[in-house]
Amino acid sequence: MRGGDFEERSVGALRVRIDRTLCVGFGDCITEAPAAFVLDETGVAVFLAPETTSKEQLLRACDACPVDAITVWNEHGAQIVPGACEQVP
């Protein structure tokens, strides 16, 4: 799904969302998973082929975002990236 402020994809059992208003184009996600993400013409991260990346590599790439523009939920709907949310009861 793409449009407006968010781009979202289901990748296996994960739901991954890029917040286009937060992304500033550092490219850390691309460094970690170049097959999964690319910067668009405005310098904002978008999906390329995240389904071709291993789950571990994809999670590392999402977690690498310094501005937390990428959020990941597991198959139970629990947010797992950014990781700080795991500590909140």
What does the domain layout of the chain look like in residue ranges?
2-87
Model confidence at 54: pLDDT above 90: yes
pLDDT in tens, 14-45: 999 999 999 999 999 999 999 999 999 999 99
- Bridge-based pairing state of the strands 70-73 and 45-47: unpaired
Q: φ and ψ at 29, to 5 degrees?
A: -65, -35
What pLDDT was estimated at residue 87?
45
What sign does the dihedral 18-20-26-31 (CA atoms) show? positive
Q: Work out the angle at residue 9's Cα, subtended by the Cα atoms of residues 7 and 22, and round it to the nearest 5 degrees.
A: 30
pLDDT-derived band at 84 (thresholds 50, 70, 90) equals: low
Read off the pTM: 0.87
Write down the CATH number for the domain with range 2-87.
3.30.70.20
More confident site: 87 or 46: 46
Mean pLDDT confidence for 68-89 = 82
